[in-house]
Structure 1
Amino acid sequence: MNQTPSVAVADGTRIAYRFDGDPSLPVLVLSNSIGTTLHMWDDEVPALSRRFRVLRYDTRGHGDSDVAPGAYSLDRLGRDVLELMDALDIQRAHFLGLSLGGFTGQWLGVHAPERIDRLILSNTAAYWGPAAPWAARIASVLQAPDMRETAELFLRNWFPADMLQANGPQVQRYRAMLLATDRHGLAGNYAAVRDGDLRRTLALIPNPTLVIAGQHDPVSTAADGERIAASVPGAKFKLLPGVHLANVEFHDDFLATVLDFLTV
């Protein structure tokens, strides 16, 4: 039986969450990449929870959150965060999102900046390209016999070749998360990525913002990160010499960069 606490948001979908850290500390919300769960942050939480009350959640369609039917929207993903914060009586919080989580973070900075203190956008983009390839991905994942081919495609985009070849514990952990992802949840989130475009509104973000990018990231390129940083007034930019999962490949540098920014 699932014991993960959850909150029902406006459309009835239950969003699973977890707290770590002393309740008296400032809240830091962590938002996961597509194809993962709140456990993608397991290695970062021990250090972060010494300084913050860390709130992790499973993006709808992932982990222990409900798999709502149909296409999701970026607006709905952002409102999931706000309604989760409302239910937990959190007025303001820092926010760190990676990939899809960073896309959600951009939406929050544009549409609900009064709820966010400092904003960290890691390995993400404001626009992920034309709709047609995303429609093809949605059809492919829904028609595939299982998640194995999809999982391996993700891993090739997330990790450098030497890590993949070594097939160490981190690669195995992320493969397991991908294989456990519900295809309908993945397709629903693909639709949010397909339809979202924040390029013209990023300049509205007033929050202190840090953008982290990977030099060799094929998913959200270094140029994508540079464009976000150039669009958000006063944003800081950090380039790490890695691929997509900066928190895994350059764990120590990632943590140091995040903590330096949040504890100014």
Structure 2
Amino acid sequence: MRVTPINTERIGGSPSLVVDREGEGPLLILLHGIGGNRTNWRTQLPDFSKTFHCVAWDARGYGDSDNYEGPLDFEDFAHDLLRVIDHFDAERAHLCGLSMGGQIAQCFYRLYPQRVASLVLAATFTHWRAALSDAALENYLSFRLKPLQEEGKEPNDIADAAASALLGPTATKDHHAQLANSISTLHKDSYIKTLQSAVPYDRPLDLESIQVPSLYLYGKHDPLCPPELGRKMADRTPESRFLEIAHSGHLINIEQPQAFNQAVLHFLNDVTSTG
């Protein structure tokens, strides 16, 4: 299977954004998590691009996208996403976001609902405190911020431990290596700004207001976003589906790519055939 996308493109603006894209058809945008980048979707692009114009971005300050001056407002991600959709002259896009990527997709829908065709929300939450207790959230932030801000360490120094904390019990060495690699290449300052903005962000989407088809995907062994969290979100969302992925931790698309791809494509094919 080809895992290297044939098209990489830089989208102008401030900051400029780099995307991998393949295929033709309805626009489908893949949004990585807080420790990821566009390469996290390398096992999705070949399958999804058979029927969709599939785009995987590096969010601002991630991967090959530009860094930026000043603090981050979490809604900057949504405004950046609008630039991507406009760049490809699409009226609407299907959004597939994992973890923080799902939070970005929800934020975008709250601000630009008319530009969304459907939502795939994987291993995500309405806001961080919905997923973690105050103590767990403090530990999550301390584990990542203290080494980088107080101990002079780099993302590479926390990559292995951070990856191990997110993966399920059946994850392979290759899964661990892929996730650890994306964490190790984080832009330190941008990552810190994202943590400081994303975690306290408290303008969640009213799930009852969603008027597009939505799919919730959660790993059975996710230590961060357990399946019950997804079930509760799906119960609040009109025209939604929920699916639990066996043998997976937080990074469903990496740990169980075949099950993830099948679930997403089944959902999207239903949406596009009836819409």
Give TM-score, length-normalised by structure 1: 0.88
Match among 15, 18, 36 for residue 17 of structure 2: 15
Check 1:210–1:88 CA distance in 2 against 1; reply closer, same or farther (3 A cut). Answer: same
Corresponding position of 1:260: 266
Deviation at 1:105? 0.9
Corresponding position of 1:177: 182
Tell me how far apart the structure 1 counterparts of residues 193 and 230 of structure 2 sit (CA, whole Å): 24
Q: Tell which deviates more after alignment, 192-201 or 42-51.
A: 192-201
Deviation at 1:188? 1.7
Match among 255, 260, 263 for residue 249 of structure 1: 255
Corresponding position of 2:58: 58
Within 5 Å, give how 1:1-264 maps onto structure 2: 4-9=8-13, 12-22=14-24, 25-129=25-129, 136=142, 137-143=144-150, 144-163=152-171, 167=173, 169-199=174-204, 201-241=206-246, 242-264=248-270
Corresponding position of 2:273: none
Opposite residue 237 of structure 1, the aligned amino acid is: F
Q: CA RMSD in A?
A: 2.1
Deviations 1:227-249 (CA, angstroms, capped at 9, x unpaired) = 32122222111111221011122
Deviation at 1:107? 1.2
Deviation at 1:177? 1.5
Deviation at 1:4? 4.7
The alignment partner of 1:195 has SS state of coil
- Unmatched tracts of structure 1, length 5 or more: none
Give every structure 1 segment of 4 or more consecutive aligned residues whose post-TM-superposition deviation is greater than 6 Å: none
Aligned pairs, how many? Answer: 255
Aligned partners of 2:169 and 2:249 also within 8 Å: no
Tell me how far apart the structure 1 counterparts of residues 199 and 84 of structure 2 sit (CA, whole Å): 24
- Identity within the alignment, %: 24
Tell me how far apart the structure 1 counterparts of residues 238 and 119 of structure 2 sit (CA, whole Å): 12
